[in-house]
């Protein structure tokens, strides 16, 4: 399931569904000035998350994460953060729908879902995070019916250079300045 490219068809519905979820969330935010101009939407979200209700439980379960959100509030980071969230969600969606760097896109989707959960938003984040985990594990095949079929062989992986990267002896000559011997 995770290594055979022929099983890319198996991952296609999950990848497209998850990609649509991210695209839908991000594209709406990119059209909203409360996200893209003022960051007011992010600020309101953070303010709700850090409130300690009398006699109840705070939305954020961990004091260190509440402190992190409070630091963002006090530093007025909502303006750039709103843009980051909106564009990031849309970019993750586009990458998943196109099957471009599927494992990386799914990883960043998981990362965002984790932060949403840490900030006290249950919603569908846990389910989206699990779907993304499967796509991360299936990174070799999940984008096979998509751009990854061509992108991964071109760019390569950390353990196998792609067509755009030099191989073997060519790699040493590229790194070595002209006129000197290759490193031993």
What string of pLDDT tens digits covers the 184 residues of the chain?
777 877 889 999 999 999 999 999 999 999 999 999 999 999 999 999 998 888 877 788 899 999 999 999 999 999 999 999 999 999 999 999 999 999 999 999 999 999 999 998 888 999 999 999 999 999 989 999 999 999 988 988 777 788 886 565 455 444 444 554 545 4
In the chain the first and final C-alpha atoms are separated, in Å, by: 41
Look at residues 124, 103, 98, 135 and name the one whose alpha carbon lies nearest to residue 20. 98
At 39, list the tokens: 């960051």
Please return the burial class of 174, using the count of CB atoms within 10 Å of its CB with bins 0-12, 13-18 and 19+.
exposed
At 127, list the tokens: 């389910």
Question: How many alpha carbons lie under 13 Å from residue 123 in its C-beta half-sphere?
Answer: 15
């Amino acid at each position: 399931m995770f290594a055979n490219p022929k099983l890319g068809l198996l991952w296609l519905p999950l990848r497209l569904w998850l990609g649509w979820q991210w695209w839908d969330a991000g594209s709406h935010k990119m059209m909203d000035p409360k996200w893209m101009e003022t960051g007011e939407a992010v600020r309101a979200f953070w303010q709700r998350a850090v409130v300690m209700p009398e006699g109840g439980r705070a939305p954020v379960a961990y004091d260190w994460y509440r402190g992190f959100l409070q630091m963002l509030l006090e530093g007025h980071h909502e303006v750039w953060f709103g843009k980051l969230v909106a564009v990031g969600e849309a970019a993750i969606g586009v990458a998943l729908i196109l099957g471009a760097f599927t494992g990386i896109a799914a990883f960043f989707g998981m990362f965002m879902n984790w932060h949403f959960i840490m900030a006290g938003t249950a919603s569908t984040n846990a389910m989206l995070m699990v779907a993304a985990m499967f796509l991360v594990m299936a990174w070799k095949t999940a984008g096979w019916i998509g751009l990854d079929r061509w992108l991964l062989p071109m760019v390569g992986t950390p353990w196998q250079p792609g067509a755009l990267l030099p191989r073997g002896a060519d790699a040493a000559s590229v790194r070595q300045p002209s006129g000197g011997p290759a490193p031993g």
